[in-house]
Structure 1
């Protein structure tokens, strides 16, 4: 009997110890993934590409919102409260983010902390002010144009800055993040230039040529009996029919896109950034459109529609309303689909034949997502 009691007691104590160990393991928080919060959905999409299964990503604004003005709701501050990494442009675009960071009181992601990432570093900013600034100039950005995400080539630099942040807060998985960032950059190059030119010249060389304004002169050269431009693919090849075209824009948020794809902005519906168009300014824009035969107007979907529609009626110009960020329309669930959408609708606005829906002219080497060819 005593032996039985000893065995029973031992069994019970073993069971209790094992139960306690299990309960204890449940009580100890194990962080399998990093929580990353980004200001914009574009940065969230890029972060997910690099972070893969090691991260969960949330964003504070949506693709149909004005990026300059996001209400600092308590629910947004709550997202930041337990974040490991915060990703922002780092210029004077997301002024609203400072209020949210203050409300969240998360020391890990405050400006200057390891978990605070600015993605503009290393990008050559356009439209830097050259004169003394005053409020009469409108909602001008003192460092230059902050809408850097409208250039696919800028995504590579953005991804490098995000990579640095991920490695700082999660050094154990540095190699994993590095591999995925490298694959993402290659994916961008192939989407932009097509496989043939990337394989021949490399993405870095092509990027330098395009951003320096010399790519298309270079592509007039022959290689193995063929003009190099015939090897061009990707978005640049798809956008060739409207390269060199003149357009009107509502706001200066397309500066990097038009640089990459060769559109020329003649004037803006806003007389100055952030200042609503006056009747006098609209009249001046209408006169320019008629005089120069401008066919298309670029308008981010978050702007008011009355002025563009009125200008359409007076001139016959086509207003093309485009989401500025990922998720602004259902068809743009990531950065690549967003640029597909932009190019297709710009071509449609010019009366040009769009590419086959959903087609990408690049090889999907990353193992991330579904290949579209």
Structure 2
């Protein structure tokens, strides 16, 4: 705040271009001052009071700030018609100033009644704008909803459902399952709502470890049991088989895609017949196509026919061996293909 005691005397003593400067004040890590010209800063503004905000030290830093200059009335309140706002923006280490050559016309001020005992009071409000450049300070941490829901599944807090899978009993939360699976939603919020609250829900045709992995995915959106990197492990492939069927059963699309991708990338002669039967029975077209492409190699086909899963493939999906023959025999041998297809039983 700058207070000019003896406004009239200052106007008489100071010539145009001469000024008085307030005591410096520190704000936002910088030194500031207010410079007052009673008769204007230049000959172009002799009928006005000129006033400027001085930045006396920036410590070599870029400075951004907003400032407002206010004339205060006799009650110490800002006069709206005598208020001006400006912006400070500098990268200079030298003294800099911002303000107004024609801040107030002297005749207007003297007739306004805002001079009290020939005293003019000017308040300067400065807001320094600090920019955060550090990536560490601005980086938003990754979401952790999956971790909290995973902890909820482990702790069983507020669980309102019980599943019996084989000899194991597993707890879960109705609202989470309903939100993640349209099948669970129809069962748990529909006809089964009352019965599911009273007694355990029995899950048939599924192993407990598979259903447990299904629940883990529903709560965390991850399948640790399948995350084996680039190494191929037959146990993981078998689990992917079972989880693919479970995901299809409960209509969990993303899990189906994860499992199908896993199986497509880990086709071998021992497992291809099982995967092909699975793809045919459940309509997994991408997996079926990957298996058929793998079997386009005579050596892979021969090895598959010697595997344990081949007999199951022939009995459960008799159309698949026929499709294999149709792919292997060239088009120009159509007659031979027709004879073989007729003989295939």
Structure having the larger proportion of residues in helix? 1
Whether the TM-score (by the shorter chain) exceeds 0.5 is no
Q: Where on the TM-score scale, by shorter chain, does this alignment land: which range?
A: under 0.3
Considering Cα pairs closer than 8 Å and 6+ residues apart, tell me whether 1 or 2 has the greater RCO. 1
TM-score (norm: length of structure 2)? 0.25
TM-score (norm: length of structure 1)? 0.23
Rg (Cα) greater in structure: 2
Structure having the larger proportion of residues in strand? 2
